[in-house]
Structures are given as structure tokens and as C-alpha cells.
Amino acid sequence: GAVVSQHPSWVICKSGTSVKIECRSLDFQATTMFWYRQFPKQSLMLMATSNEGSKATYEQGVEKDKFLINHASLTLSTLTVTSAHPEDSSFYICSASNLNRASGRYNEQFFGPGTRLTVL
């Protein structure tokens, strides 16, 4: 399958600071990237859907001003957690997908390895 990387793999920051997480699709052009959050022993919760060159679509309850998403190219999307607080500590995972032009539907999602954010 396709390879998706995330950087950093883990980060510890002080409350009130901002943290940027990068998601890169290494061997294919991803028209769409998704950002998820996962708390311990819970399912992945979709935060936002990001299409290259356009604004992200956020899920209900996700603050767009707090979780800034940029998808500047077909291989890179970034998630910035602004003014992070301890309750933002979580495992953030991105995935990448692209459109199957023949079917008009998206292919399977390829996930990055995740980023563990700890806010002190």
C-alpha cells in the first residue's frame, strides 16, 4: 500500500503554545487527507477532511480556529493545534486518499503512523 508519514511522531509542549503536525503522502498524490484524533482505548474520531487547495471541512464539535489545517499540495497537509491545553493531549492520525476517476469514488485511506501530543 501507499506510504504516509507524519512528523513529529511525538511532541510534548507547554500549555498555551501551538504545535504543528505534518502529514505527507510519500509515493502518491493525495487529493484528500483526513485528520483523526484517538483517545486511549477509543475509536478514531474524524476531525476534518482536507482537499488540496481548498478549505478543510470540520466535523461537528471540532473548533476550526483551534485546529488549523492546511493542505497546500497533493503530498502535504498540516494540522496546527493552537493554544494547546492538556485536554488536547491525544494521538493524532492523518490519512491520505485519492479519487478513483473511473468510479468517481475515493480509494482506500492510507494512514500515517500517528503523532502523540502531550500538553503539560
Q: Using CB under 8 A, list all residues that contact other proteins.
A: 1, 4, 6, 32, 34, 41-46, 49, 91, 93, 95, 97, 105-106, 108-114, 116
Q: Which amino acid is at 90?
A: S
Residue partners of 103: CB distance under 8 A and separation at least 6: none
Looking at the Cβ atoms of 42 and 73, the one nearer to other proteins is: 42
Looking at the Cβ atoms of 64 and 116, the one nearer to other proteins is: 116
- Min CB(56)–other proteins separation in Å: 13
Under a CB-based contact definition with an 8 Å cutoff, are residues 2 and 10 in contact? Answer: no
Q: Which amino acid is at 35?
A: W
